Chains A and B, each alone.
Chain A
Amino acid sequence: MATIDINQVSKIYTGGVTAVRSVDINIADGEFIVLVGPSGCGKSTLLRMVAGLEVISQGAVRIGDRVVNDVDPADRDIAMVFQNYALYPHMTVYENLAYGLKNRGTPKAEIAERVAEAARMLQLEPYLERRPRALSGGQRQRVAMGRAIVRKPAAFLFDEPLSNLDAKLRVSMRGEIKRLQRRLGTTSIYVTHDQLEAMTLADRLVVLNGGQIEQIGAPLEVYHTPASTFVASFIGSPAMNLVKGDLHGDRLAIGPAMFELGGYAPASGPLTVGLRAEDLRIAREGEVSFALRVDYVEELGSQRLVHGTLGDQPLTAALPPETALGDAINLAIPPDRLHFFANETGKRIGNGLPAPTTPAAERLGAGRLVAHR
């Protein structure tokens, strides 16, 4: 158990390609941090630098109060779970779990005890004498996790551990990882490109893009106040609608649609407006609304995703499944759910409108998150 400090860490490959640029993350003891971003954003490289599998070009990584830049991976007191499990194919499950302990000269009795404990925790007891070949994907993944657990390391590092599993198994393994991490209280860094995995697992999310941190924050914080258009479009499914708008005083124009912001004016002139598909709803009588021309509809069962155009800009709305649809529908959005981003930098402008006081429960967003999933 330990804190991990990633301090101004960069990775520059020979040839001058910068994969990770001056990253700062302070991870508290027992915290579950998820690094999320599209492929090639440097998240795996960052994790591998913490693991010691890649050389740190600049900056320092501290595990506990020890700088580990030049420490061998074996001596960093970390355990890693790989995407393709990386189990030793010629060893039984027991030997796989015991190998790391054996190399460290742990007494035999203690190895047996720790392996038994991990096997019990992961329900691997019936399979201890089998080889990885004879296991299913989920079981292999559990063995890979068991190999990390038995070592009782200061930190777990997960490198897209669920990517090779089918969708259903992924959901249940996600739950298991979360539960296990809670139970053991081990500091964890988890790399994924799946925003859903990131949202559900993380205590704090680190959104990376092009080797740089876009935003660090709790999942809901990132969801509700994305720091940039990149984060806005990456976190949440379907992706947040980003449309061109024009702000004059407190009046916002998006194509033909006009919104009153009631005195709120974070900027003026053209900017990018973000609207979450799930914040859009069918307009009630007399409400400020705008017309969406419907292109096509995706049925998800729990909701229907209506893809259409507002003026000449594409827009997606997540509506309840019973919604009646025509060629065009009238939509409304509470003004406090609008997000504003600068056109040039993509950075967030202002913190959005203060929410009206009444529907506080709804504002929490928890229910909504579940629904949109």
Chain B
Amino acid sequence: MSIIKTKNLTFEYIRRDEEGNVEGITTAVDDVTLNVRAGEFIAILGHNGSGKSTLAKHINAILHPTEGTVWVDGRDTSDESQVWEIRQTAGMVFQNPDNQIIGQVVEEDVGFGPENMGVPTQEIWERVAESLRAVGMYQYRKSSPNKLSGGQKQRVSIAGVLAMHPKCIILDEPTAMLDPNGRREVIRAVRGLNDVEKITVVLITHYMEETIHADRIFVMESGRVAMEGTPKEIFSQVERLKELRLDVPQVTLLAHELKGRGLRLPDGILTTQELVEAMKRNGYL
């Protein structure tokens, strides 16, 4: 079943100079047609300015297409009357946790969404508790968000979206401002939501390592989907990714280097485990 579908999605905006005269038109998303099935884990890669975030903002109706159509769970995002339904279906988490947390106490912050949806009080508390448990932050429910680390704050932001019971979560570089530990915590929480709760995940990131467990990766370039495939398929193309200003995970790069030195290794190795096994199979270890 399809949860996010775009057909010939194009988004243009008009650039203006200081006096408001039109300078030109930028096409940020250019004729994108894609289909995300319910329960999938999708990663979107692409260099700065490739159109990733603009695409993502169409999924919960922050932006509306200039041309083409976006459907979220069967609802057309350009239909004004459906906007609230769409935003409840597809929740968004942004880069900076400090811009998204408003409550004085963690559980209050997480309850903000369902409260605004008019959920009965008893159920709000249930949702808050279950959302905080899902991201491993239940023991901090009475804390002040100010006292949390970046990774913890970001997990509270995710819980805030979860409490609205979305079918889909879009995360726009959720780990860009975090240290390695915080990054690990957030990615683990997101993978848990996808595995256990079967929530569809769309993860935008610049860290290649975070995408190796995705079901599919889309690589954006100049507003178009330049590559699409499983992590293995995508990361087998080391040179192509470099052309697109991207990278591959360190293990993949090491395997690629070793191949260049004449070792017999398969393409698209993504984890240390896989590399060790491939080395054993071919008698190097």
On whether the two chains bind one another, the answer is no
Using a CB–CB distance below 8 Å, which chain B residues touch chain A?
none
